[in-house]
Amino acid sequence: MDIYRKILNEIKQRHAALVLVTKTKGIDVISEFYNMGHRDFGENKVQELMSKYEALPKDISWHFIGHLQKNKVKYISPFISLIHSVDSIELISEINERALKNNRTIDILLEIKIAAEQTKYGLSMDNCLDLLENPLLKTLKNVRICGLMGMATYTDAIETVSDEFHNLKIFFDHLKNKYFSDQESFSELSMGMSGDYHLALDEGSTMVRIGSLILGER
């Protein structure tokens, strides 16, 4: 718990938020943090999230941080608080449809590829611009784009990681100016995990996603 409080304080001092990543951890672990007042939890698998959602209090804010298949959106659409990992117009369209059916608006982040390593998921910055220019997007009124998410290269090379976060922040500011200047809700930059959250906060992260540093190895 001491490490949780220490990290939470650091993050709060930087005016950022902590999403506690509880994937693979049990209901008991989540309850322990819930009872201390924590409400933001991150999961990366739909089935695992569903069983936790059903077992736990309904005022938890659930964050979906893994790859989301279109055919699984329907399961999480009634309750999900923020989907961090959206990387196609088709997925946004499906989320919009499910949000409509549930009579709500679903908040999402666009996942941007910033790492040097080949990753399967996430939009290149160019593809992200294309997505934002897509006329279909304006018709999807039950989805709200609240910002960007990115994962840096998994490396000890501090400068590489900082540069990647820095580039994402510059891209975020560019999008904010160009497409979202009148939308206060476009305000979140989800970056930083156990190994690199200090660097992410230095580069302007508003939301860090931390698991193992607080909860131990998975």
Structure tokens at 53: 């959602």
- Indicate whether 119 belongs to the interface with ligand PLP (CB under 6 A): no
Number of residues forming the site for ligand PLP (CB under 6 A): 13
Kindly state the helix (H) or strand (E) to which residue 213 belongs, with its residue range: helix 212-215
Residue 150 touches ligand PLP, criterion: CB under 6 A = no
Q: 5, 2, 7, 64: which is closest to 195 by C-alpha?
A: 7
Q: Do 209 and 196 form a contact (C-beta atoms < 8 A)?
A: no
CB of 97 to ligand PLP, least distance (A): 25
Residues 54-113 that bind ligand PLP (CB under 6 A): 65-66
Structural contact between residues 94 and 114, judged by C-beta atoms closer than 8 angstroms: no
Q: DSSP secondary-structure letter at 16? A: -
Q: Which is nearer to ligand PLP, 117 or 130 (CB)?
A: 117
In this chain, which stretch among 55-63, 101-109, 163-171, 205-213 interacts with ligand PLP, using CB under 6 A? 205-213
Instruction: CB nearer to ligand PLP: give 187 or 212.
Output: 212
CA of residue 82 relative to chain centroid, distance: 7
The piece of 8-16, 47-55, 158-166, 190-198 that touches ligand PLP (CB under 6 A) is 190-198
Residue of 124, 154, 212, 216 that binds ligand PLP (CB under 6 A): 212
Task: Return the bridge partners of 43, or none.
Answer: 64
Q: Is 194 in the site for ligand PLP (CB under 6 A)?
A: yes
Among 132, 115, 125, which Cα is nearest to 170's? 125
CB 186 within 8 A of CB 174: no
Asked if 131 contacts 167 with a C-beta cutoff of 8 angstroms, the reply is no
* Cβ atoms of residues 48 and 26 within 8 Å: no
**Of the candidate residues 44, 93, 96, 205, the single one contacting ligand PLP (CB under 6 A):** 44
Given the rule CB under 6 A, which of 86-94, 98-106, 159-167, 188-196 is the region that contacts ligand PLP?
188-196
Task: Tell me: does residue 191 bind ligand PLP (CB under 6 A).
Answer: no
Q: How far is the CB of 112 from ligand PLP (least distance, A)?
A: 13
| Chain residues in the site for ligand PLP (CB under 6 A) | 21, 23, 44, 65-66, 193-195, 209-213
